[in-house]
Structure 1
Amino acid sequence: MDVVFMEDKEKISIKDYQLPSLNKNEVLIKVKMAGICGSDINTYRGLHPFRKPPVIMGHEVSGEVADIGTEVKSFQNGDKVTVEPQQGCTQCEYCLSGNENLCTLRRAPGVGNWSGTMAEYFIAPSSTVIKLPPETSFETGALIEPLAVGFHAINKANVQPGEKVAILGAGPIGLLTQAAALHKGSDFVMVTDIIDYPLDISQQLGAHTTINVASYTDWVKAAIDNVGDKFDKVIIATDAKEIVNQALQLTKRGGKIVTVAMFHKKHLIDVNNIQSLEKEIIGCMTYNRDDFLQAIELIKFGNIPIEQVISHILPYYEASQGFRLVHQKQDRSLKVLLRF
Structure 2
Amino acid sequence: MKAALLYKNEKKLRIEDVPVPEINDDEVLIKVKAAGICHTELHFIDNVLNAGKYPIIPGHEVAGIVYKKGKNVKDLDLNDKVLLYYYRGCGKCDFCINGQENLCTNPEMEYGFINDGGFSEYIKARETDLVKLNDDIDIYSIAPIACSISTGIHALNMAKPELNDRVLVYGVGGVGFGLIQLNKLRGCRVFSASRNDKKLDIAKKLGSDYNINTCNENIVNKVKSMGGVDIIYDLVGSNETIKNDIEMLNKAGKLVLIGYDGSNVNINPLDLIINEIKIISCVGNTRYELEEAVRLFNENRIKIVIDRFDELKNINNDLEIIRNGEAMGRIVIKFD
TM-score between both structures, scaled by the size of structure 2: 0.93
2:268 to 258, 267, 270: 270
| Alpha-carbon displacement from aligned partner over 1:165-222 (angstroms, at most 9, x marks no partner) | 1111112122222222223x13311110122221111112111111011112x32121
Where 1:258 maps in the other structure, the secondary structure is strand
Tell me if the contact between 2:24 and 2:70 (Cα under 8 Å) persists in the aligned partners. Answer: yes
1:242 to 240, 246, 271: 240
Whole-Å Cα distance in 2 between the matches of residues 52 and 168 of structure 1?
33
Tell me if the contact between 1:87 and 1:128 (Cα under 8 Å) persists in the aligned partners. Answer: yes
Where 1:138 maps in the other structure, the secondary structure is coil
Whole-Å Cα distance in 1 between the matches of residues 194 and 53 of structure 2?
29
**Equivalence for 1:232:** 230
The question of 1:324 aligning with 2:320 is answered: yes
Q: Describe how 1:155-304 pairs up with structure 2 within 5 A.
A: 155-183=157-185, 185-216=186-217, 218-225=218-225, 228-304=226-302
Whole-Å Cα distance in 2 between the matches of residues 45 and 266 of structure 1?
16
Whole-Å Cα distance in 2 between the matches of residues 322 and 51 of structure 1?
24
Whole-Å Cα distance in 1 between the matches of residues 140 and 207 of structure 2?
21
Q: Which stretch shows the higher mean deviation, 6-15 or 252-261?
A: 6-15
Distance 1:298 1:62, change over 3 A: same
TM-score between both structures, scaled by the size of structure 1: 0.92
Cα distance, 1:229 vs structure 2: 2.0
Whole-Å Cα distance in 2 between the matches of residues 58 and 334 of structure 1?
16
The question of 1:315 aligning with 2:311 is answered: yes
Quick one: which amino acid aligns to residue 221 of structure 2? K
Q: Describe how 1:28-47 pairs up with structure 2 within 5 A.
A: 28-47=29-48
Cα distance, 1:136 vs structure 2: 2.2
Cα distance, 1:285 vs structure 2: 1.1
Cα distance, 1:53 vs structure 2: 4.2
Quick one: which amino acid aligns to residue 34 of structure 1? A
Q: Which stretch shows the higher mean deviation, 165-174 or 39-48?
A: 39-48
Cα distance, 1:33 vs structure 2: 0.6
| Alpha-carbon displacement from aligned partner over 1:32-54 (angstroms, at most 9, x marks no partner) | 11011111111222322445642
**Equivalence for 2:134:** 133
**Equivalence for 2:93:** 92
Query: Structure 1 unaligned runs (5+)?
Result: none
| Alpha-carbon displacement from aligned partner over 1:65-92 (angstroms, at most 9, x marks no partner) | 1122221111111111111101111111
Tell me if the contact between 1:56 and 1:117 (Cα under 8 Å) persists in the aligned partners. Answer: yes
Tell me if the contact between 2:178 and 2:303 (Cα under 8 Å) persists in the aligned partners. Answer: no
| Alpha-carbon displacement from aligned partner over 1:93-123 (angstroms, at most 9, x marks no partner) | 11111111111212212344x3111111111
Where 1:11 maps in the other structure, the secondary structure is coil
Aligned length: 332
| Alpha-carbon displacement from aligned partner over 1:274-317 (angstroms, at most 9, x marks no partner) | 211212001101110221122112202214432xx211211122
Cα distance, 1:135 vs structure 2: 3.0
Query: Structure 2 unaligned runs (5+)?
Result: none
Identity %: 27
Whole-Å Cα distance in 2 between the matches of residues 274 and 14 of structure 1?
47
2:329 to 328, 334, 338: 334
Cα distance, 1:130 vs structure 2: 0.4
Tell me if the contact between 2:6 and 2:45 (Cα under 8 Å) persists in the aligned partners. Answer: yes
Whole-Å Cα distance in 1 between the matches of residues 323 and 242 of structure 2?
23
Cα distance, 1:242 vs structure 2: 2.0
Whole-Å Cα distance in 2 between the matches of residues 143 and 20 of structure 1?
23
Q: Which stretch shows the higher mean deviation, 155-164 or 79-88?
A: 155-164
Moved over 4 A (4+): none
Whole-Å Cα distance in 1 between the matches of residues 47 and 90 of structure 2?
28
Where 2:215 maps in the other structure, the secondary structure is helix
Where 1:165 maps in the other structure, the secondary structure is strand
Q: RMSD across aligned C-alpha pairs, in angstroms?
A: 1.8
Whole-Å Cα distance in 1 between the matches of residues 20 and 155 of structure 2?
35
**Equivalence for 1:48:** 49
Distance 1:4 1:50, change over 3 A: closer
